[in-house]
Structure 1
Amino acid sequence: METNHYDVLIIGAGLSGIGMACHLQKECPGKRVGILERRQAIGGTWDLFRYPGIRSDSDMFTFGYKLRPWHELKVLADGPSIRQYVSDTAREFGVDRKIRFGIRTTQAAWCSEQKRWTLGAIDEATGEAVTFTCSYLVSCTGYYNHDAGYLPSFPGIERFQGQTIHPQFWPEQLDYRGKRVVVIGSGATAVTLVPSMAKDTAHITMLQRSPSYVFSLPSYDKISEVLRRVLPDRWVFGMARKRNLLISRVIYKASKRWPGKMRQLLLAGVRKQLGEDFDMTHFSPKYNPWDQRLCAVPDADLFKAIRAGKASVVTDQIDTFTESGIRLKSGKELQADIIVTATGLQIQSFGGMQLSVDGKAVPVNQRMTYKGVLLQDVPNMGWIFGYVNASWTLKVDMSAAYICRLLNHMDEKGIAVVTARAPQGQMQDESIVAALQSGYAQRGASELPRQGRGLPWRILHSPEKDHVMLLKDPVEDAALEFGSAQAPRAAAAAPHRAPVSVGA
């Protein structure tokens, strides 16, 4: 047996990759599975980001794996707790022993004659080239560039005499005690950083060009705490997962159906925290709720920091950086010792890995996805991409379970190759995250796969519908082209197609 050949090879040992590997361990135990991870630790996003206060922006009961539910009472868990949870899950399922750390995958090439993928990679510790092969490839690399965050071109930034930091690359020993800090941004990272740092800074200012919707969640699940006194943990946390999923879906659907009412409700929550005299323009976005992700803060910590005078919010545009801070278009100057550019991510597909099929490059942004899991015209490849309007892991769990269903079906039928084929005229000129108006989604739209006119080529971002499509509908589908493992030579050019389409 070749040392570097696998039945299934997973790229990435973050939340998605570990989830995929655990599903394979449970549902396809006979498969030889490998995981390639560029970093030196499990965790992906949760190992990379180390800024103060980093935490989930989804509740942990739906953010946790279905195979190994979150059994703590923290609702919005901190980064180290999440990193530990993912590592513990990998260890419990035995998939931690399947990881090759420090491996940067640069290219993946499919050969139809050999019915396998060949991956080119670099061992980052030695700089040596390494080759891996597999029968089935699954990309679990997330959607952003780990090497560089997004940084706008700020006029005069070279003049600033203090420290400028992007949250993606937080210095381990940064001392901000007693310092004046400005955080540029208004998204999930900014609203996390500000209250966390406010405890120790002389003052911290959140400078935003435009506001986001911010709402408060309890940091601790008191309902589950009470129920644990009389019910088994499995029941209690199962109910918490269902309850929180229902609440989040109701909020999302209500935001889309009655945006005006939901806007009033969200702004009323902020006013209740900050008082009638507060200038609500700082928390009154021009867009409707859920056109961008809502920002959740635990126990109103951001609002408490503002009320206490430790933090403030300024809504303005940057004219230029100065030696001692930032001058705004309004003429106001913000003095700073440290400026944090919480300006977002740079979207990247497949971790920058180059794909090819039989020697021809695959432009990912000119392909659609089948059920949000398979890439159009790319054989034997799965792609795990979570929800942008709900907990990421909900979709990870369903996508991983679907890939296991597909692999088991192929084994039962003696099938070696599966390829998703789309009819002509299906592709639309919109990305799979077109529903979001967030800056990162708009900037990176051209890097992502396209949407189709209808199912199964359209990503729904709907757990209810995806549950049926991925876990209940039959695997065989007219959109899937199957090739047998040992087809006669004369028939090899005529792959099997299912007679009817039931996946949509």
Structure 2
Amino acid sequence: MPDHAPDKRSVDVLIVGAGLSGIGMAYRLQERLPHLSYAVVEAREAIGGTWDLFRYPGVRSDSDIFTLSFPFRPWRGDDAIVGGADIRDYLEDTAREAGILEHTRFSTKVVSADWSSQEARWTVRVAVGAEGREETYEARWVSFCSGYYDYDTPYDPGFAGLDDFQGTLVHPQFWPADLDHSGKKVVVIGSGATAITLVPALAPDAAHVTMLQRTPSYVLAQPRKDPIGNAIRKVLPPRGGHLAVRTKNTVLQWGLYQACRRLPDQMAALFRKGAVAAVGSEEIVDEHFTPPYAPWDQRLCISPGGDLFEAVRDGRASVETALIDRFVENGVRLADGRVLEADVVVTATGLSLQLLGGATLSVDGEPVDPSQTYAYRATMLSGVPNLSFCIGYINLSWTMRSDMTARLVCRILDRLSRSGADTVTPVMDGTPASRPLFDMDSGYIRRGAHLQPRAAGTYPWAMKQNVVVDAWQTNRAGLDEGLVWSASRDRRPASRAAAGA
């Protein structure tokens, strides 16, 4: 891919990250505020973010593509659950067609950002290329669209005996392109979306695949195609059909989540019934597919076409629910003394949380710790001017939230452009009871709770993980509640203000 680079290092808006969030932010910005200049900086060498990073077998979306794709660019494929390469191509095509690539510079990692109140500007330090050459950007606004986990360092559970293992050890985040697992015994450690994707993808060529989990997850079989959605798209124009299917699937996903939270016992029983029908064994389901927690206490995992259940039913894969003692020469020894023999072990043990792509922030030279801030509408940090961040939902497709955030940021930027103010800062009055912004019991969320901005129980400082409530509150948000607007001239010394008059 060519190394497109913006001509200027001084822009109105600097967007950090060229994945789903960054492309969506850039599109909304040039759609709604075409008079503003912007640049996109991306630490990786290509478009895609997560979908460029993960290249393991079977990598795919964990939700339907109609809600994952952008509302402004229809998905034209037939499948509802699609592979990572197709998503990556979709993102690159979107960026190219919208002219976003022309504003994007790759191999450019943001190291730090410092705000000057007198100048009403961010000075952003970046490291460029493999050699890490230092350069700077200046921006009136910085939009961090870099996700919420560490691309360079996955979670390490600290397994004992790794050096004793004589086979091949792989982490999905760094999958080697030349790995050949054909005819080999494979153990996949984990029970989340990555493990549930890998097991059926590896099973056809491996001698056998074992999914080794400490705790079961809820797994829901979902069709790869959406017959109703495809029928809708045949009778409506592309954009209208796409939005209709997107709305349908959003309502269904929202309804499933609400049912799980309000009727956990009934939904757990329903998931168990489906798993038993798919696997053909109550014993296997009760031991390996029945979690000790309620549905959606942790993320619900999707099995397209029931491929995981099919692999277990056919005997090409199996599941072990046990604790690990240590790695040994020929595999993994469990706490009960058994050894799972393996030629290849995949440690699908999860992610490490990281905010703002690892960049540090300061305001007028004072360091900012995001965990000591409150999140204004899950979009800005209290006490930090002219900066936004973008996260997606945990219980719905990422884009459902990221597009909502992009549109809110554009509203704020539009007011800045028209009002005569040049600075807007979220200000929290008082110290209400708080919780981490991402309120879910998943392992990587728990491990990173101490890094997260805080959320309160009421808007504008809440994020409900409820797309209906969030959309109502965000799309109609008054921009005075929780925000303080000002001009840099109000903060300059009198002599300097007079000199510039």
Q: 2-side partners of 1:373 and 1:397: how far apart?
A: 11
Aligned counterpart for 2:471 among listed residues 455, 467, 476: 467
| 1:480 aligns to 2:486 (yes or no) | no
Change (3 A) 1:453 1:463: closer
Change (3 A) 1:200 1:366: same
Change (3 A) 1:490 1:107: closer
Query: Which residue is equivalent to 2:69?
Result: 64
Q: Secondary structure at the match of 2:225?
A: coil
Question: How far did residue 466 of structure 1 move?
Answer: 1.9
Aligned counterpart for 1:458 among listed residues 457, 462, 468: 462
The code of the aligned residue for 2:483 comes to L
Query: Which residue is equivalent to 2:217?
Result: 212
| 1:141 aligns to 2:146 (yes or no) | yes
Aligned counterpart for 1:385 among listed residues 384, 391, 396: 391
Question: How far did residue 278 of structure 1 move?
Answer: 4.0
Question: How far did residue 2 of structure 1 move?
Answer: 9.0
Query: Which residue is equivalent to 1:496?
Result: none
Change (3 A) 1:105 1:431: same
**What count of residue pairs does the alignment treat as equivalent?**
489
Q: Is the 8 A contact 1:25 1:93 kept in 2?
A: no
Change (3 A) 1:230 1:14: closer
Q: Following superposition of structure 1 onto structure 2, how do residues 225-236 of structure 1 map, counting pairs within 5 Å?
A: 225-236=230-241
Q: 2-side partners of 1:403 and 1:229: how far apart?
A: 34
The code of the aligned residue for 1:233 comes to P
Q: Following superposition of structure 1 onto structure 2, how do residues 336-375 of structure 1 map, counting pairs within 5 Å?
A: 336-375=342-381
Aligned counterpart for 2:421 among listed residues 412, 415, 427: 415
Question: How far did residue 319 of structure 1 move?
Answer: 1.2
Q: 1-side partners of 2:438 and 2:482: how far apart?
A: 23
Aligned counterpart for 2:55 among listed residues 50, 54, 57: 50
Aligned counterpart for 1:77 among listed residues 76, 79, 82: 82
Question: How far did residue 279 of structure 1 move?
Answer: 2.0
| 1:184 aligns to 2:189 (yes or no) | yes
| 1:437 aligns to 2:464 (yes or no) | no
Q: 2-side partners of 1:453 and 1:368: how far apart?
A: 11
Change (3 A) 1:240 1:2: closer
| 1:20 aligns to 2:25 (yes or no) | yes
Q: 1-side partners of 2:156 and 2:184: how far apart?
A: 23
The code of the aligned residue for 1:44 comes to G
Q: Is the 8 A contact 2:72 2:239 kept in 1?
A: no
Q: Percent identity?
A: 44
Q: Is the 8 A contact 2:117 2:488 kept in 1?
A: no
1:292-320 deviation per Cα after TM superposition (whole angstroms, max 9, x unaligned): 11000110111111111110001111112
Question: How far did residue 69 of structure 1 move?
Answer: 2.9
Query: Which residue is equivalent to 1:282?
Result: 288
Q: 2-side partners of 1:191 and 1:382: how far apart?
A: 33
Q: Secondary structure at the match of 2:394?
A: coil
Q: 2-side partners of 1:117 and 1:473: how far apart?
A: 26
Question: How far did residue 277 of structure 1 move?
Answer: 4.8
Q: 2-side partners of 1:377 and 1:287: how far apart?
A: 37
Aligned counterpart for 1:108 among listed residues 98, 113, 138: 113
Over the residues paired in the alignment, what is the CA RMSD in angstroms?
1.7
Q: 2-side partners of 1:126 and 1:437: how far apart?
A: 39
Q: 2-side partners of 1:372 and 1:359: how far apart?
A: 25
Q: Secondary structure at the match of 1:223?
A: helix
Q: 2-side partners of 1:229 and 1:390: how far apart?
A: 25
Q: Is the 8 A contact 2:220 2:303 kept in 1?
A: yes
Question: How far did residue 490 of structure 1 move?
Answer: 8.3
1:213-237 deviation per Cα after TM superposition (whole angstroms, max 9, x unaligned): 0011110122233344444333332
Q: 2-side partners of 1:159 and 1:279: how far apart?
A: 31
Q: Is the 8 A contact 1:18 1:90 kept in 2?
A: yes
Q: 2-side partners of 1:464 and 1:225: how far apart?
A: 25
* Structure 2, unaligned runs of 5 or more: 1-5, 496-501
Q: Is the deviation greater in 407-416 or in 7-16?
A: 407-416
Q: 2-side partners of 1:176 and 1:467: how far apart?
A: 45
Q: Secondary structure at the match of 1:403?
A: helix
Question: How far did residue 151 of structure 1 move?
Answer: 1.6
The code of the aligned residue for 1:59 comes to D
Query: Which residue is equivalent to 1:498?
Result: none
Change (3 A) 1:239 1:3: closer
Aligned counterpart for 1:129 among listed residues 134, 151, 175: 134
Q: TM-score, normalised by structure 1?
A: 0.94
Q: Is the 8 A contact 1:427 1:450 kept in 2?
A: no
The code of the aligned residue for 1:142 comes to G
Change (3 A) 1:488 1:208: closer
Question: How far did residue 59 of structure 1 move?
Answer: 0.8
| 1:224 aligns to 2:239 (yes or no) | no
Q: Is the 8 A contact 1:161 1:323 kept in 2?
A: yes
Q: 2-side partners of 1:339 and 1:41: how far apart?
A: 29
Q: TM-score, normalised by structure 2?
A: 0.95
Q: 1-side partners of 2:494 and 2:81: how far apart?
A: 55
Q: 1-side partners of 2:231 and 2:212: how far apart?
A: 41
Q: Secondary structure at the match of 1:238?
A: helix
Question: How far did residue 264 of structure 1 move?
Answer: 0.4
| 1:160 aligns to 2:165 (yes or no) | yes
Q: Secondary structure at the match of 2:470?
A: helix
Question: How far did residue 437 of structure 1 move?
Answer: 0.7
Question: How far did residue 485 of structure 1 move?
Answer: 5.9
Aligned counterpart for 1:311 among listed residues 305, 317, 325: 317
Q: Is the 8 A contact 1:414 1:485 kept in 2?
A: no
The code of the aligned residue for 1:402 comes to L
The code of the aligned residue for 2:423 comes to V
* Structure 1, unaligned runs of 5 or more: 493-504
Q: Is the deviation greater in 127-136 or in 223-232?
A: 223-232
Question: How far did residue 412 of structure 1 move?
Answer: 1.4
| 1:29 aligns to 2:34 (yes or no) | yes
Question: How far did residue 247 of structure 1 move?
Answer: 0.7
Q: Is the 8 A contact 2:184 2:344 kept in 1?
A: yes
Question: How far did residue 104 of structure 1 move?
Answer: 1.3
